[in-house]
């Protein structure tokens, strides 16, 4: 295992240049162990991997690939939040599920961006945001309740004189 961890560290340090090869390695991986190490290396390359991973997830329908690509995006964290949310409307149903997994893995840092989508004119965005917040558990549900409560406060008629 130390050899694998060292390989992951070196690949992560290669940064942007390693991303296409790592994505291909994730597509070609024959087992979950290999997928995990490749996903960790991709996450280690940072924000530069976000858009290439999202593009590959859109093109590649294999659920094993998508699961581990989503894990990498979740580990990348903050730089992935806005691109993940932006990818929701154009994603197929299965891909939206993997995007949701990535956002749930990111957790609380994604709450604000998801809350903003609750007021979207796009019904898919609203529904996806509600479902993702629900999947996040207590913090997500609290954020959703607070958002809707604030909207209700703003829509109430002023008290009678």
pTM to 2 decimal places: 0.87
User: Are both 9 and 47 inside the same structural domain?
Assistant: yes
User: Are both 100 and 124 inside the same structural domain?
Assistant: no
pLDDT digits (tens, 9 = 90+) for 84-137: 999 999 999 999 999 999 999 999 999 999 999 999 999 999 999 999 999 999
Considering 68, 85, 106, which residue would you say is the last residue of a domain? 106
Q: Considering its fold, how many domains does the chain have in total?
A: 2
| Chain centre distance of CA 3 | 29
Report yes or no on 115 lying in a domain.
yes
User: Are both 47 and 86 inside the same structural domain?
Assistant: yes
Contact 75, 105 (CB under 8 A): yes
Angle between helices 63-76 and 50-59 (to 10 degrees): 160
Report yes or no on 161 lying in a domain.
no
| Chain centre distance of CA 148 | 23
Contact 39, 26 (CB under 8 A): yes
- What is the enclosing helix (H) or strand (E) of 20? helix 19-28
DSSP 8-class letter at 48:
G
User: Are both 45 and 58 inside the same structural domain?
Assistant: yes
Contact 61, 84 (CB under 8 A): no
User: Are both 19 and 85 inside the same structural domain?
Assistant: yes
| Distance between CA atoms of residues 42 and 25, nearest Å | 10
User: Are both 15 and 62 inside the same structural domain?
Assistant: yes
User: Are both 79 and 126 inside the same structural domain?
Assistant: no
pLDDT score recorded for residue 150: 85
Domain of 138 in residue numbering reads as: 108-154
Report yes or no on 60 lying in a domain.
yes
User: Are both 81 and 70 inside the same structural domain?
Assistant: yes
User: Are both 97 and 127 inside the same structural domain?
Assistant: no
Percent above pLDDT 90 for the chain: 80
């Amino acid at each position: 295992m130390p050899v694998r961890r060292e390989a992951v560290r070196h690949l992560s340090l290669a940064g942007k240049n390693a991303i296409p090869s790592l994505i291909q390695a994730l597509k070609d991986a024959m087992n979950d162990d290999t997928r995990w190490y490749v996903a960790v290396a991709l996450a280690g390359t940072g924000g530069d991997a976000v858009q290439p991973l999202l593009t590959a997830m859109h093109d590649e329908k294999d659920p094993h690939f998508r699961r581990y690509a989503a894990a990498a995006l979740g580990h990348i964290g903050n730089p992935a939040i806005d691109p993940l949310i932006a990818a929701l409307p154009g994603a197929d149903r299965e891909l939206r599920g993997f995007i949701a997994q990535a956002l749930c893995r990111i957790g609380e840092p994604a709450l604000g961006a998801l809350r903003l989508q609750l007021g979207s004119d796009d019904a898919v965005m609203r529904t996806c945001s509600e479902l993702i917040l629900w999947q996040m558990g207590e913090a997500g549900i609290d954020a959703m309740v607070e958002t809707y409560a604030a909207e209700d406060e703003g829509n109430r008629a002023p008290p009678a004189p």
